[in-house]
């Protein structure tokens, strides 16, 4: 028996004679059961979902207790991961010591990481060497994804490396490229052998240091120019330590002992690099240099701001400058050296590149950055080099901020997630004749012609994709292409006497380089000696 209130409230349901009330009753009679059924279905699905077993972890090889798969790894890690992907599929898991590693080798799964769940996978797992050099990971490459990182990334990519800033610093880059041409010309007069990697390293490092702090360390009565050479040496050692396998990264309990001495070496070098940064900052603050466009001066203005959305601390400034210096050298050196090696290995490609340079630039002048967009074939060559020889073939590992699911497999919070672009770039299902060096695949008329470096085509990701895509792409493009074009335009190159084939073996590190230096003999191509002898003019 209903209470009186309820009975009177619902009495119209069965006693009404009004047509409008009857219509309302019919509607409710239909909707109430339907609503009840929907609630039942929703609650059933929710209960089934809660009771469903969690997705399994990815498949993978069984390792040994404590050390995992470490003893069985190929020293060339990207080659080993490619072999394992062929066996276990596009996503697999291995344990390296205490570190859980997930390796992804398919564009669709990569898309899930860098696009569909980008914010979750935007953290990093910096190794001990990186933590020691990057001013406490207060940089862009290794810092975790948060508000401070987003602020620094925006300043770095949208302002510091803006088109206007890069245009303003072009003469600094050009000066050092011209100096490179002059030095190579001197070697050519004596039929000397040129170490391409060393020449490119010196040119790129000098160019970047000029952009970082201008003429702060030009020669003066205190001999400050030696600081540039010391800093360059420091950076070279830092790059080497960053790529050295460290047992402390795999077994955190051993980190305190620093068995290989990597952390102590890196801290000592970083301490001196920090002192050089402080010296440069003091020069800028005290105004003892001729003011010009450079990154340090620009970033220092942001340390004085009151807006927290645009202000930087001095450690952040140092971290960002170190990003430019380290990120702008090793990867670009690798690309140029591999490009020269592949071009020398394929004489028809060399002929086409130099014919294009002759037609678009001419032999009566030198290559300028403004010429780069016109060099369609050379740009296709560079894309093909980056496809076959991506400088960082596994990219910098991502790390999920919470447990997630990729491809139906569970990924633990804090795991190291490697995007295996080396395997993707050589996948025969994605690329026709993937092991052949064919720049034509990136020219107009081919399906790959529209592919760029911006990370939107997941079968080609030499610089990554998503929030963690390389922030220095505009600078890397300008510098590496200008250097490569200048080398090929200014000189004819051949192998040293007695050498018949280019050695293409690899040496794995944070950046993959050639196992053996590329030694070549140059012969001048330009029309007059003055184009080399006056090469220091800008």
Neighbours of 125 (CB within 10 A): 18
- Tokens at residue 522, please? 């140059």
83 occurs within a structural domain: yes
Q: Is residue 40 part of a domain?
A: no
Provide the pLDDT for residue 293.
60
Q: How many structural domains compose the chain?
A: 1
* Per-residue confidence (pLDDT) for residue 131, from 0 to 100: 80
DSSP string, 118-172: TTTT-EE---HHHHHHTTTT-SSSSS-SSHHHHHHHHIIIIIIT-HHHHHHTHHH
Specify the range with the lowest mean pLDDT, choosing from 83-87, 264-268, 319-323, 370-374.
Answer: 319-323
Judged against a pLDDT cut of 80, whether residue 324 lies above it is answered with yes
Q: Does the pLDDT of residue 291 top 70, yes or no?
A: no
CA max distance for the chain: 114
Residue 209 domain flag? yes
At 411-463, the pLDDT tens digits run 999 999 999 999 999 999 999 999 999 999 999 878 788 899 999 999 999 99
For range 313-339, the mean pLDDT: 88
Q: How far apart are CA 266 and CA 275, in angstroms?
A: 14
397 backbone dihedrals φ, ψ, rounded to 5°: -60, 140
What value does the mean pLDDT take over residues 344-363?
A: 96
Note whether residue 239 is domain-resident: yes
Q: Would 101 be classed as within a structural domain?
A: yes
Q: What is the CATH number of the domain that holds 206?
A: 1.10.630.10
Q: Is residue 58 part of a domain?
A: no
pLDDT confidence of residue 50: 60
- Find the mean pLDDT for residues 262-291: 79
pLDDT digits (tens, 9 = 90+) for 58-91: 999 999 998 999 999 898 999 999 999 999 999 9
**Looking at the DSSP assignment, which residues form a beta bridge with residue 419?**
104
What is the CB neighbour count within 10 angstroms for residue 486?
A: 23
The confidence score (pLDDT) of residue 407 equals 96
Residue 298, in any domain of the structure: yes
CA 31 – CA 343 distance, rounded (Å) = 73
Contact indicator for 91, 112 with CB cutoff of 8 Å: no
pTM of the model: 0.86
Q: How confident is the model at residue 18 (pLDDT cuts 50, 70, 90)?
A: low
Range of the domain at 110: 70-533
DSSP, residue by residue, 378-439: HHHHHHHHHHHS-SSTT-SPEE-SS-EEETTEEE-TT-EEEE-HHHHHT-TTTSSSTTS--G
pLDDT above 50: residue 10? no
Domain-located, residue 300? yes
Cα–Cα distance for residue pair 346/248, rounded to 1 Å: 43
Please choose, from the candidates 343, 346, 347, 344, the residue with its C-alpha nearest in 3D space to the C-alpha of residue 378.
343
Residue 429 Cα to chain centre, angstroms: 25
- Given this model, what pLDDT does residue 281 score? 84
């Amino acid at each position: 028996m209903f209470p009186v209130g309820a009975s009177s409230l619902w009495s119209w349901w069965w006693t009404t004679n009004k047509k409008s009330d009857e219509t309302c009753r019919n509607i409710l009679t239909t909707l109430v059961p339907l609503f009840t059924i929907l609630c039942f279905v929703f609650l059933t699905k929710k209960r089934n979902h809660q009771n469903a077993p969690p997705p399994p972890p990815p498949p993978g090889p069984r390792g040994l207790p404590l050390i995992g798969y470490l003893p069985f790894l190929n020293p060339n890690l990207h080659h080993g991961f490619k072999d394992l992907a062929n066996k276990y599929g596009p996503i697999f898991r291995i344990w390296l010591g205490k570190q859980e590693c997930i390796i992804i080798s398919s564009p669709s799964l990569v898309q899930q990481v860098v696009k569909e769940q980008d914010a979750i996978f935007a953290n990093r797992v910096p190794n001990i060497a990186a933590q020691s050099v990057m001013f406490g990971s207060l940089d862009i490459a290794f810092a975790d994804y948060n508000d401070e990182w987003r602020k620094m990334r925006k300043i770095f990519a949208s302002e510091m490396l803006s088109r206007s800033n890069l245009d303003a610093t072009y003469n600094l880059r050009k000066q050092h490229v011209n100096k490179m041409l002059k030095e190579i010309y001197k070697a050519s007069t004596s039929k000397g052998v040129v170490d391409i990697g060393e020449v490119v390293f010196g040119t790129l490092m000098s160019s970047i240091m000029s952009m970082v702090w201008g003429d702060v360390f030009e020669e003066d009565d205190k001999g400050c120019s030696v600081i540039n050479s010391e800093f360059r040496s420091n950076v070279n050692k830092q790059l080497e330590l960053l790529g050295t396998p460290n047992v402390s990264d795999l077994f955190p309990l051993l980190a305190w002992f620093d068995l290989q001495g990597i952390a102590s070496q890196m801290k000592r070098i970083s301490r001196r690099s920090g002192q050089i940064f402080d010296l440069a900052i003091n020069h800028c603050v005290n105004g003892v240099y001729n003011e010009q466009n450079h990154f340090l001066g620009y970033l220092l203005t942001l340390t004085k701001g009151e807006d927290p959305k645009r202000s930087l601390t001095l450690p952040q400034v140092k971290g960002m400058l170190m990003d430019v210096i380290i990120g702008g050298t090793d990867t670009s050196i690798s690309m140029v050296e591999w490009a020269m090696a592949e071009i020398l290995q394929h004489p028809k490609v060399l002929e086409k590149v130099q014919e294009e340079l002759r037609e678009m630039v001419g032999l009566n002048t030198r290559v300028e950055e403004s010429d780069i967009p016109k060099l369609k074939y050379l740009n296709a060559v560079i894309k093909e080099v980056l496809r076959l020889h991506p400088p960082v073939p596994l990219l910098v590992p991502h790390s999920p901020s919470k447990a997630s699911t990729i491809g139906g497999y569970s990924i633990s919070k804090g795991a190291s997630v490697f995007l295996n672009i080396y395997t993707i770039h050589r996948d025969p299902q994605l690329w026709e004749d993937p092991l052949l060096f064919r720049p034509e695949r990136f020219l107009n008329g081919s399906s790959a012609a529209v592919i760029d470096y911006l990370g939107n085509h997941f079968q080609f990701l030499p610089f990554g994709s998503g929030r963690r895509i390389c922030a220095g792409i505009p600078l890397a493009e300008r510098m590496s292409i200008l250097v490569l074009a200048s080398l090929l335009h200014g000189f004819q190159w051949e192998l040293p006497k007695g050498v018949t084939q280019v050695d293409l073996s690899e040496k794995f590190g944070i950046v993959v380089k050639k196992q053996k230096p590329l030694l070549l003999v140059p012969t001048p191509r330009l029309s007059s000696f003055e184009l080399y002898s006056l090469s220091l003019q800008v």
